[in-house]
Structures are given as C-alpha cells and as structure tokens.
Chain A
Amino acid sequence: MKLEGRKIYKGTAEAEAIVTKDGISFFGGVDPDTGKVVEVGHELEGQSITGKILVFPSGKGSTVGSYTMYRMKKNNTAPVAIVNKQIDTIIAVGCIISEIPCVDKIDIGNIKTGQTIIVNGSEGTVEIK
C-alpha cells in the first residue's frame, strides 16, 4: 500500500516503523544519548527510536527540540525518517538541520509498529511493504 502525503524533507529510508498516538517532545522527552523515549507516561516510554521510522501525530514542546534531533543525528541515535499526521515547526526545522527524511499529511492509522515501510521525502510518499 502506498500513502500519499506532503514532502517536508528530502531523502528516502526503508526501516521498521515505530508508531505512537502521542505527540513527541524531543527536548526533555527523548534521551539523545540512548535514543530512548523518556517522557513519563508516554506510550513509547522506555522504547528506542534509533534506526527506526518514527510515526506520530505531531511534535510538541520547546523549540530547543530541533537541536536535540540534530544531536541525535550526530550521536547516531536518531530515527532514519519521520512520518507525521501534521508537521509542526520544531519537527520540520529539526529534520532540515539534521537531514532526516520527513513526510506529513499521512493517515498514520494505516501504519503498524513492526511493519517495514519506505519513506520517500522527495515525493512525499510512504509505502507499506
């Protein structure tokens, strides 16, 4: 199945999806050294997002989150691509400065954790294998 969305940042990635219905705050909500979600009570608390395609509705929290994403990229703890229902400026800017492929306007209910998906940030599509 191929889902059509909007391109946010270029590049392609194929990896396992990790999906959440909760918003993500990279500043304070994700540990940039381990790649694990640390926000208390978050659906993904304790799980690693490193090397995966992170699928969530939208970003939240401080604009410093863009810098946290950049730090994860440098630490090799970042997700390889991001899929959003509705992008916000923190995630958009984070993807651009960290060069992480990103697509939004996707009905993320179609994607399940553990599925292998292909994100094409240049075309704005997500393919479920």
Chain B
Amino acid sequence: MKLTQEEQDMLDGKQGRATQKSMEILTTLGEIFDAECMIKIYSVQIAGVSYANLGEAGLEFLSEMAEDGKVKVLTTLNPAGMDRENWQALGIDEEFAINQNRAIEAFTKMGIITTCSCTPYLIGNLPHFGQHIAWAESSAVCYSNSIIGARTNREGGPSALAAALTGKVPKYGYHLDENRHGQVLIKINAQVNGTDEFGVLGKFIGDKLVELEKKIPYITGIPSATVEELKSFCASVATYGGTALFHMKGITPEYDKYPKPSDIVFEINQDNLDKTRAELIDNDIIIDFVSIGCPHASIHEIANIAKLLEGKKVKKEFWITTARPTKRIADEAGYSKIIEDAGAKFAADTCCVVAPIKGRFKGIMVDSAKACYYGRAKNKFKVKIGTIEACIEEATK
C-alpha cells in the first residue's frame, strides 16, 4: 500500500506511540483488503464504550492509547453501560459505575466528545453526502451510508479509534463506488408504517440477505418514510442482515446512481410481514419492562410519548433511552416533566443493548426489532414488538 510521507511518519512513531499503533492497525487492514492507499476521513463514531463489553482488558488498551493519543477529527461515542447522571435510580451497581467512568475518562483524555449515543447524526456528528467517515455502531453505519450517502465501512471499536487518532482509513469496501451497487431487487407490495413495522421489514430483508449471501438491497415500493422509521429500519436490517448500505427508490440519495440490480428479485407482501412480526413476539411472555429508544429516541418521538403519557401513570418499569442532548431539549420543552410525572424514566447515554441488565426483567416490550434480538440473545428476556402506542398502553394498563 502506498503511504504519504505523513502516514509513513505516523507508522514510524514520529507522532507518538498511540498514533503508531493506530497506523499499524490501519495499514494491516489495508493490506488484508487490498487497499491502494489511505484516505482522509472527517468524522468518527466509536463503539465498544460499555464497560460490560470492554472489560478490564479493553479499558487497559484504551488507557494505554490515551497516554499520548489525541483525535484528529470530530469523534463521538456509542452508548455507555449506564446513564451518567441517573445510574443509581436505574439500578446500576456502584462498582460498575466506577469502571464505566474510568473508560469514559480515557475517551475524554483523547479529545473524544463523550456524547454516548448510537444516533450521532441527530446530535451534531452529521457528515454530508459523499464524505468519507469511519463509523462503528452498525445502525449508524447503515444510516450514514444509506440515508445520508456518506461512506464508511463497518468499523469495530479499535479500528474506529485508530481512524480517529490518525484521521485516515484504508481505501477499500464502501469507500469505493464499485462496492456500493445494489445486489438484490426487493419489491414491497404492502403498506409499511411506524417504527415497529419498519423494524419488522428490516428483519425480513436482513434474514433474506443472509440466506442469499448478499449485502446490499435495492428496495422499491416505499413511497415515504420518516427519519424515525428509517433509523429503526437501519438498526434492524444491520442486526439481522449485517447490512451496511441499502438503496430505497425515491428515499435514499444514491438510488439512481448505480445500475439497478435485475438478476435477483423478490417481493414482499403483507403476509411476509405478519409472519416476521409473529417471530418477534414470544407467546408465553410476561411483560415487566417496556422500553422505547432503540436506536436512541429523537425529540419528535419523545414529544409523541409525552402526548400519549400525559395524565397517565405507568405500572411497569418504563425506560426511554436517548442521547443526553436530546434529553436536554425534552427538559426545556416540558416533555420530560410530563413523562417523569407519569412514572416513566429516562435512561440517557445508555440503552437496553449495552446496559448490564441481564436477568433483571422477565419480558420486555419494545417498538424495535433490534432490541428484540439483543433482549433475547444478550439479556435472556422474552420479547414482544408493538407500536409506540401499544407499548404505552402495555406500560399503563
């Protein structure tokens, strides 16, 4: 791989140990994936923030990198294992909190903005069309590539950090036009509405892509969709299909840029969606936990939740997971008071996928297909998907 003088200097250790280690990671990945050269990136999103996933080893690595590493581009963080202000009320133990804060301190030392959200694009880390970026967090990768038209591979925690400390990534994969073409044409012959239903659609398409061993769907038949529906779809299709990029006719910016796939076509009807929805509902579920905000709730979703909860009382544990800056807007708009008066709780900075809540609840109701996957696999909960309205009805009945 060809390196510029600056990149070679980083590899030789002239910018310090952390930058050298980062460049070693990036050049090695570049050689593995036959990249010709490195490219400059403009934004990084780092995953591997929760102490539950990092452990002492990951923390030690981060601390070592923080000794002399400083980020060169705008860098934000994925959700942590707890709400940084309200962890006690959410039942997180103190030892976990101390360790979680040690990890966040290491990120802070490197100049990373400790936003702790899976929706960086909603809170100020927003690349523009065509920009090269290095994002981890599979739902945000899918959103940035598909909805924004920025360019990123699916980075892991260490490679995203390496990109942040050097401002570079090897040029391969989704950074190149030839790897962004749609591979499977999918025609939707059904009305798809709501975050839950877009999640169901994402699971159906994701499962189908795994079966076909394909990654990039080209989807037709969706006349319009909200940002919230699209973020739910991105999270689901990335979780079930490993998808980092899709094209959606009339919605995503690159849908007519590349040749439309014609060789593999399949259609989706209402029956397919009904069956997939049934797969996301455990029959013997006893619901003792309701959560909305996977990916993190937008201010628009919080406004809607406040409207639905006004004057009611929740009778089950109810979390709204969101980014801290979004929570602040909700505070100012008066939504937080309505929601908290109803007995629901905000869990900012964190989410049900990364918080250490395994075994704490029996059954969770959500509006997110991604949350169903991790609720089952990681936390051993029974799950049920439904609309936001149905989630609130369940919580208050």
Contact = CB atoms under 8 A, between A and B. Distances in A.
A71 B156 contact: no
A89 B57 contact: no
Interface stretch (A14-22, A45-53, A59-67, A108-116): A59-67
Interface in A53-100: 62-64, 66-68, 70-72, 74, 87, 89-90, 92-93, 96-97
Interface stretch (B46-54, B89-97, B242-250): B46-54
Contacts of B24: 96
Interface in A94-129: 96-97
Interface in B41-97: 47-48, 53-58, 60-61
Contact of A64 (B21, B32, B53): B53
Contacts of A96: 21, 24-25, 28
Given A32-B57, A63-B157, A67-B57, A97 B21 contact: yes
Nearest to A64: B53
Residue of A9, A64, A66, A92 contacting most chain B CB atoms (<10 Å): A64
A29 to B, nearest CB: 14
A110 B184 CA distance: 39
A20 to B, nearest CB: 21
Given A96-B21, A97-B25, A64 B48 contact: yes
Contacts of A74: 57, 60
Contacts of A70: 57-58, 60-61
Nearest to A8: B28
B113 interface: no
A63 B57 CA distance: 13
Q: How big is chain B's contact interface, by range?
A: 20 to 34
B253 interface: no
B32 A8 contact: yes
Interface residues of A, number: 20
B268 interface: no
Which DSSP category, helix, strand, loop or mixed, fits chain A's interface? Answer: helix
B158 interface: yes
Contacts of B159: 89, 93
B61 A67 contact: yes
A89 B60 contact: no
Which DSSP category, helix, strand, loop or mixed, fits chain B's interface? Answer: helix
B28 A92 contact: yes
A26 B213 CA distance: 24
A92 B61 CA distance: 16
B208 to A, nearest CB: 22
B286 interface: no
Given A32-B57, A64-B54, A9 B48 contact: no
Given A64-B48, A93-B159, A71 B56 contact: yes
Contacts of A67: 48, 54-55, 57-58, 61, 157-158
A66 B60 contact: no
21 contacts: A63-B157, A64-B53, A64-B54, A64-B58, A66-B156, A66-B158, A67-B55, A67-B57, A67-B58, A67-B61, A67-B157, A70-B58, A70-B60, A70-B61, A89-B29, A89-B32, A89-B159, A90-B156, A92-B32, A93-B156, A97-B61
Given A32-B57, A66-B157, 12 more contacts: A64-B55, A67-B54, A67-B58, A70-B57, A70-B58, A74-B57, A87-B32, A89-B156, A92-B29, A93-B29, A97-B21, A97-B61
The 9 A-B pairs with the shortest beta carbon distances in the complex, nearest first, are A71-B57, A63-B156, A67-B58, A93-B158, A67-B57, A64-B53, A96-B25, A70-B57, A70-B61
